[in-house]
Amino acid sequence: MVLPRLWESFRSHSVHLPFLSSLCTRMLRQVLHRGLRTSFSRLGYFIASHPVFFASAPVLISILLGASFSRYGIEDNVEYLLAPKHSLAKIERNLVDSLFPVNRSKHRLYSDLQTPGRYGRVIITSFRRANMLDTRHTELILKLHSAVTRIQVQRPGFNYTFAHICILNNDKTCVVDDVVHILEELKTARSLNQTNFIITYPITQLKDGREVYNGHQLGGVTVHSKDRVKSAEAIQITYYLQAINPLNDLIAEKWESIFCETVEHFQRLNREVKMYSFTSSSLGEDFQKTSRVSEQYLITSLILVVTLAVLCCSMQDCVRSKPWLGILGLVTVSLATLTAAGIVNLTGGKYNSTFLGIPFIMLGHGLYGTFEMVSSWRKTREDQHVKERTAAVYADSMISFSLTTAMYLVTFGIGASPFTNIEATRIFCRNCCIAIFFNYLYTLSFYGSSLVFTGYIENNYRHSIFCKKVPKPEILQEKPTWYKFLMTAKFSEDTDTEETNSYESHLFLCFLKRYYCDWITNTYVKPFVVLFYLVYVSFALMGYLQVNEGSDLSNIVATETRTITYTTAQQKYFSNYSPVIGFYIYESIEYWNTSVQEDVLQYTKGFVRISWFESYLNYLRKLNMSTGLPKKNFTDILRYSFLKIPQYSHFSEDIIIPKKYNNDVEVVASRMFLVAKTMDTRKEELYDLLETLRRLSLTSKVKFIIFNPSFVYIDRYASSVGAPLQNSCISALFLLFFSAFLVASSLINVWITLTVASVEFGVIGFMTLWNVELDCISVLCLIYGINYTIDNCAPLISTFILGKEFSRTKWVKNALELHGGAILQSYLCYTVGLIPLAAVPSNLTRTLFRCLFLIAFVTFFHCFAILPVILTFLPPSKKKRKEKKHPENREEIECVEMVDMDSTRVVDQITTV
């Protein structure tokens, strides 16, 4: 009889299936939410029962693990950190190395294009834009060249000079830049009063008949009669070194250091010229220099944050004030960071300057969590036991803190996954995950136990700093004035009303409750906030449409360094031509065929060709036109021309890889070097040139590849650097979707998603307007911005959406009163900690400061202006609970009254909620 009745009941209510489904979902959320609250409440009670253990265990773990960080390694391989890990350029480089293995004992003109190796480089110019080819400057440059070649590296038993470690030519002499030969011939011609010596640009001919490329050696060139050089404002000389074994590499590294010292000493002796030195080690050294120049600024930042954290947790009431909790919150963050650093060091990780951003990420997340716990403590009843108050704090604050921590772990975890193509980003995200995980554990244990200790001090009515028993008011009146000031407290016995209002004297809470909440929800303020938001969106859109990808490595080094000064001079004087690009043909083609020769020269049309390959093809074309060149004759010419024709005597390394089959020679690969004319926007043009040549290589008749070492950094950099942000955004959306079952209303996640999108959109736009490019540092900050926004906005949105019985305006005020204090405290501490970062002389820290400051400011703007206004007139709606005596639904009316000059009350606005 029961089953038929249930079936009839189900059939009669089948029309209410959507309602039942919604009800079940709501019940599931409530069950999960209550289960989590109960679990955290029991955890808080357990920690409050064993505070000594939970306070000491994190300290011991941090000391044990962090002690290993005293002997940490430094990652100085910039290519490993900042170049895309999986890029076509690296594959092309491996193919080039296999076809043309670099023989460092027999150097050809541009073999350093495959692997730069060790080198020293100097740009010589003058303050008055003088001609560096005149007699005085020519002699000065040759004098510098002589001083460089005499540099000695002292080793036990032997002193190494440039001649011992230089790259050798075929005649066993050191390879020297052709500009040195040009200057020597120019000096000789002047000494003999010869006026017929002509220098052309960018290719000139030496006395021995060789044509050499000088586009990267002469800068600021003024020409007349087409290509004849009239003057040159700068000259660049490069000294190539061998690094064929560890000892040789060590000596070359020491030589580079002495080379820079020699150039600086020569600069001091000759004030009329300006010299910019650069070596293969300069970029790595200048990248790590950021850490050294940041030390004193980080100490200043720490002092400011500690001071403000103490002030934020202090009150005039000496019993309820919690200054120690402000310091202990920073100690919690420091212990977690130290533990993560120890783990990374023990697992073989190496330190690099991008790690400077980790303490600030920890500061933003950790301090807000601790301030939320203090705010929850203020809402508990003072007549409760400390264990019960701690349990209430954990039940109230740990759910949101756990969800935001999970969001951090997911977003940074995706960034630390193999999907990330930039190694510096992957390492940074991995270390952030470790630090955030331990920060969560230490907040539960160490900071929770610290809260217990301060709770006992408060319950025993002792001074929050000196732990001295505070006398009752009648006894305090007999004490001196200074003693009264130190012992000021609101003494209460058993009055519940007084106890619930004991913490309202806190400066931030008083400001929000008495002034700000009423002002921001005022009807006349709302239109201005909406208008201001539209202006914000307009400027953000303008910046968003101008986003640039920053593949310039000078953006991640300290400012007062060789890399910056050299790069600035190099772009000023040597930006007329792009870097030399290798053009490699990796198939056996019929070089004797005229059509093939035309195809090869067609693909390099528009470039300056700086190898003998073109001349050799032209030589073959002449033979074709005169006698016709069959394959057999071509083989003979190929076999003997290297010996019989002097200008082709060095083809064996630059042009072919011979294979012999029955005394026959087959060309399986060949190469030439190309230079393109560029403008001031060389980086963008070089990237476009790279993509154009690659597309051409896919459709051409001749199989070829192009390569330059700089391609390793710019190849697919935009997609590589943006991938972690895209993946993190997708993972954040998925987490918000699945966490809808853990929150009491799915509308919370909708509002959080919209808020995060608005903040990220604004940060990217204003970041561009503030001259910050999209590189690995700014992308890491944007990933953090997702989590920082959720950290601060989620509690406000949750409190508002879950509120019942009152109007929207009332619940906006309640949300600001409950969570606004913690948000304001963490924002002030975080911003004050960022300010010293702006003064660090480094481009890396400049990017960090600008991005993190924009994230904090835009999030603060949304928390205290945009959300409080928008939520007052957008869903969800608020309806009063049904009364038993009046079952009908009643709507709450919000009326704003105005009083005119005649004291006549007029309803200005009526809003139905």
Same domain, 364 and 446: yes
Report the percent of the chain where pLDDT is more than 90. 33
Mean pLDDT to the nearest integer, 540-559 = 83
Same domain, 449 and 345: yes
Residue 472 in domain? no
Q: Which residues contact 94 (CB under 8 A, 6 or more apart)?
A: none
Q: Which residues contact 900 (CB under 8 A, 6 or more apart)?
A: 906
Q: Which residue has the higher pLDDT, 748 or 666?
A: 748
Q: Residue 710: its pLDDT value, please? A: 78
Give this prediction's pTM: 0.84
224/820 Cα distance (integer angstroms): 71
Same domain, 207 and 126: yes
Q: Is 197 helix (H, G, I), strand (E, B) or coil?
A: coil
Q: Which of 199, 174, 175, 171 is nearest to 185 (CA)?
A: 199
Residue 540 half-sphere exposure, CB side, CA atoms within 13 Å?
17
Same domain, 404 and 510: yes
Q: Which residue has the higher pLDDT, 36 or 304?
A: 304
pLDDT one-digit tens code per residue, 751-791: 988 999 999 999 999 999 998 988 888 888 998 999 999 99
Same domain, 690 and 774: no
776-802 vs 386-415: helix crossing angle, rounded to 10: 140
Residue 388 half-sphere exposure, CB side, CA atoms within 13 Å?
7
Same domain, 296 and 443: yes
pLDDT one-digit tens code per residue, 378-420: 888 888 899 999 999 999 999 889 989 988 998 898 888 888 8
Window from 2-6, 769-773, 863-867 with minimum mean pLDDT? 2-6
Q: Which of 690, 707, 724 is the last residue of a domain?
A: 707
**DSSP assignment letter at 352:** -
**What is the dihedral angle through the alpha carbons of 307, 312, 317, 321, rounded to the nearest 10 degrees?**
-80
Buried/exposed 126-163: b ≥16 CB within 10 Å, e otherwise: beeebbbbeeebbebbeebbeebeebebeeeeeebebe
Q: Residue 466: its pLDDT value, please? A: 82
Residue 203 in domain? yes
Three-point CA angle 184, 186, 190, nearest 5°: 115
Q: Which residues pair with 122 in a beta bridge?
A: 237, 277
Mean pLDDT to the nearest integer, 347-365 = 90
Q: Residue 538: its pLDDT value, please? A: 95
pLDDT one-digit tens code per residue, 238-292: 898 887 788 888 999 999 999 999 999 999 999 889 999 999 889 889 988 998 8
Same domain, 273 and 290: no
858/853 Cα distance (integer angstroms): 8
Mean pLDDT to the nearest integer, 129-149 = 92
Q: How many CB atoms lie within 10 A of CB 552?
A: 16
Compute the radius of gyration of the chain from its Cα atoms.
36
Total structural domains within the chain: 3
Q: Residue 233: its pLDDT value, please? A: 93
Output the CA–CA distances (angstroms, integers) from residue 102 to 247, 649, 863, in the order listed: 19, 18, 60
Q: Which residues contact 912 (CB under 8 A, 6 or more apart)?
A: 891, 892, 893, 894
Same domain, 738 and 790: yes
Mean pLDDT to the nearest integer, 888-905 = 43
The identity of residue 207, as a single letter, is K
- And the tokens for 698? 């896919």
pLDDT one-digit tens code per residue, 645-696: 333 333 444 554 455 545 555 667 777 777 777 654 556 667 777 778 788 8
- And the tokens for 40? 């955290």
- And the tokens for 588? 């056996």
pLDDT one-digit tens code per residue, 577-603: 777 788 888 887 776 677 777 777 776
Residue 901 has pLDDT above 50, yes or no: no
Q: Which of 279, 310, 326 is the last residue of a domain?
A: 279
Mean pLDDT to the nearest integer, 99-111 = 52
pLDDT one-digit tens code per residue, 507-535: 888 888 889 999 999 989 999 999 999 99
Q: Residue 652: its pLDDT value, please? A: 40
434/61 Cα distance (integer angstroms): 14
Going through 442-596 in order, the beta strands assigned E by DSSP cover 581-585
Residue 57 in domain? no
The identity of residue 694, as a single letter, is R
Residue 46 in domain? no
Quick one: pLDDT band at residue 639, thresholds 50, 70, 90?
Answer: very low
Q: Is 19 helix (H, G, I), strand (E, B) or coil?
A: helix
Q: Which of 714, 726, 552 is nearest to 84 (CA)?
A: 714
Same domain, 250 and 304: no
The length of the chain is 913
Quick one: pLDDT band at residue 71, thresholds 50, 70, 90?
Answer: confident
Q: How far is CA 12 from the centre of its chain?
A: 61
Q: Which residue has the higher pLDDT, 547 or 655?
A: 547
| Torsion sign across C-alpha atoms 458, 464, 466, 471 | negative
Same domain, 701 and 815: no
DSSP string, 359-426: HHHHHHHHHHHHHHHHHHHHHS-TTS-HHHHHHHHHHHHHHHHHHHHHHHHHHHHHHTSTT--BHHHH
Contact predicate 99/583, CB 8 Å: no
Q: Which of 178, 164, 143, 141 is nearest to 255 (CA)?
A: 164
Quick one: pLDDT band at residue 500, thresholds 50, 70, 90?
Answer: very low
770/764 Cα distance (integer angstroms): 10
Contact predicate 247/118, CB 8 Å: no
**Enclosing domain of residue 176:** 116-279
Residue 79 in domain? no
Q: How many CB atoms lie within 10 A of CB 256?
A: 25
DSSP string, 868-884: HHHTTTSSSP--PPPPS
Q: Which of 225, 251, 279 is the last residue of a domain?
A: 279
Q: Residue 755: its pLDDT value, please? A: 93
Chain mean pLDDT for the chain: 80
pLDDT one-digit tens code per residue, 180-209: 989 998 888 888 887 777 888 888 888 877
Same domain, 266 and 298: no
220/233 Cα distance (integer angstroms): 5
Quick one: pLDDT band at residue 609, thresholds 50, 70, 90?
Answer: low
Residue 530 in domain? yes
Contact predicate 844/556, CB 8 Å: yes
Mean pLDDT to the nearest integer, 855-876 = 90
Q: Which residues contact 1 (CB under 8 A, 6 or more apart)?
A: none
Q: Residue 893: its pLDDT value, please? A: 42
Same domain, 644 and 668: yes
Residue 517 in domain? yes
Contact predicate 87/720, CB 8 Å: yes
724/727 Cα distance (integer angstroms): 5
Residue 41 in domain? no
Three-point CA angle 529, 530, 535, nearest 5°: 95
Contact predicate 239/179, CB 8 Å: no
Q: Which of 400, 402, 401, 434 is nearest to 415 (CA)?
A: 434
